[in-house]
Amino acid sequence: MQGIEQIAERVLARVPEWIWDGETLPVPVESIADDVFGLLVREVDDLAGAPGAPALGSGQSLSGLLLPSLGELWVSRSEALQWPPRRRFTIGHELGHWCVHRDGPADGAVYCRAASVVEDAPPASEARPARAPEEEEANLFAAALLMPARLLEREYRRDREFGGLCERFEVSGAAMGRRLHAVV
């Protein structure tokens, strides 16, 4: 998965300084999606109403979706209001699909169920559900984009207080825990 990390680093390297100076936290993921890639980020009440959305079973929901032909990235408004760090992760995840999978075999919208955009780990008693490789890659991209390795290492050396790291990067504890494990 080193290739995914490098793709995220290349994306961050091409962000104009007027958007992000490469040092200040948090990484402005929505501005990157909008100003660098020209993707409109929309918060929508019901993602199931998106063009071509898959039928959802009882209790299923969509966290985000990418509509490449429209240049739009949609996120669940209710999730965004309830969990702002999840909104940032979902934007990063969908941007990962744009940067890594857009030209792949799925020549249309990319829909991500809440279980696919995983920043929160399941309880220790539950096995982690298997996800499609594309979903895992999009999660890795989001983590690398929101928590660049060199900045995470810098901040970890300054102050190892876990809650403070989560606040500075504006990510969930689960996302930070997995990223720390991968980087530090």
Report the alpha-carbon distance of residue 123 to residue 32 in Å, rounded. 32
CB-based contacts of 60: which residues, under 8 Å, 6+ apart?
A: 113, 114
Residue 69's Cα: distance from chain center in Å? 20
Per residue of the chain (184 residues), what is the pLDDT tens digit? Answer: 569 999 999 999 999 999 999 999 999 999 999 999 999 999 998 888 887 677 777 877 888 989 888 899 999 999 889 999 999 999 999 999 999 987 654 446 676 655 555 454 444 444 555 678 899 999 999 999 999 999 999 999 999 999 999 999 999 999 999 999 999 9
**pLDDT value for 108:** 61
Query: Which alpha helices (H) appear in the chain, and where do they start and end?
Result: 2-13, 29-31, 77-82, 84-96, 133-146, 149-158, 162-169, 173-183
**pLDDT value for 116:** 54
Report the alpha-carbon distance of residue 88 to residue 95 in Å, rounded. 11
**pLDDT value for 53:** 75
